[in-house]
Amino acid sequence: MRTLLDELKTIRTGEAQRFQSLTLFPLLRAETAAAAPEYLLLEEAIGLGVARVTELSEGGSVPQLLFVNDGERPVLLLDGEELVGAKQNRILNLTILAPPKQSVVIPVSCVEAGRWRHESKEFRVSEQAQYARGRAARTAQVSESLMHRQTRQSDQSAVWADIQEKAERMSAASPTSAMNAMYEKAAVSLEEYLRAFRWVEGQAGVAFGMGGQMVGLDLFDHPATMQRLFPKLLRSYALDALDGAADAREIAMNGLLSELALAPVFAEPAVGLGKDLRIQGRGLVGAGLWVETRYVHLAAFRVGGSGSDFKTRMARPSRRRTGGGEVVY
């Protein structure tokens, strides 16, 4: 498996784009091995009728859902991607490349605390993902869960509390405390951000900053994946920009890529295909998915804390499992 240092050496940073307090830096790949990804995105697969997401059972399970891939190609499910419907809205706890012709139990978090009743049999994919600050906190929670309990669960109470606090700040109350109420309330403003930023040729990722400092990045294996997911990710960054300080100072990259390249990493078998990487350095948390010869997705966020527990975990022999998430045939 290639190191983060070697991976990030292949990435070039494009010209910054700015609107109000949000700054985006395109992350460019000089070369791409394939003309198009060999996988489908989740929304695409559901739209084609070759995949579906349902509750795990009739009774349901808050931290788990069932993903069924009836197609001939793998399907990419994005960390933080929102699934709407069934008994309550959920978000993906990590990025998953689900194998073809299999069903996989996927770890999720609830983002609608006040509903536990069926609105539909199957989930549909929302046009937004969890906002970036929430993703950062949940990524750290899932990493701790994997390290200490060999599960990939978030701190559900903390996820709900964070949504409630953010909704109060944004005056976006919802009868069911749903995260998507904030996106609906801010829809007009979010469209302004969508018009202000653009995907550029060769862009496989984006580093983003707000409030006068760099905040994080998302990087994919293929520019076509980034192009398709760009609006969804941009909405998640913009929601935090609307909720933050109106600081429009110019931002430099400030070593974010070099910090990520040198951050401590441990890996476990992924849910679905590949290896699940967990990343945390001093003031940095992240996750990635490695499949066969490449990083399919990397995400990292600047946060507080030293990450010393991760260094302790890396210093002792790693306890490996024989597989990732439960696979149902």
- The DSSP secondary structure of 186-231, one letter per residue, reads THHHHHHHHHH----TTEEEEEEEETTEEEEEEEES-HHHHHHHHH
Structure tokens at 298: 């990397």
Which amino acid is residue 23, in one-letter code?
Answer: T
Q: Collapsing DSSP states into helix, strand and coil, what is residue 113?
A: coil
Q: Is the pLDDT of residue 15 over 70?
A: yes
User: H-helix or E-strand containing 129?
Assistant: strand 123-129
How far apart (Å, rounded) are the C-alpha atoms in residues 195 and 118?
A: 36
Structure tokens at 165: 């606090």
How far apart (Å, rounded) are the C-alpha atoms in residues 50 and 268?
A: 28
Report pLDDT digits (tens) over 123-139: 999 999 999 999 999 99
Structure tokens at 147: 């390290």
Which amino acid is residue 9, in one-letter code?
Answer: K
Please answer whether residues 275 and 266 qualify as being in contact, where contact means their C-beta atoms are separated by less than 8 angstroms: no
Q: Is the pLDDT of residue 30 over 90?
A: no
How far apart (Å, rounded) are the C-alpha atoms in residues 281 and 170?
A: 31
Report pLDDT digits (tens) over 106-164: 999 999 999 999 999 999 999 999 999 999 999 999 999 999 999 999 999 999 999 99
Confidence (pLDDT) at 32: 66
Residue 138's domain comprises 4-328
pTM above 0.85, yes or no: yes
Domain count, the chain: 1
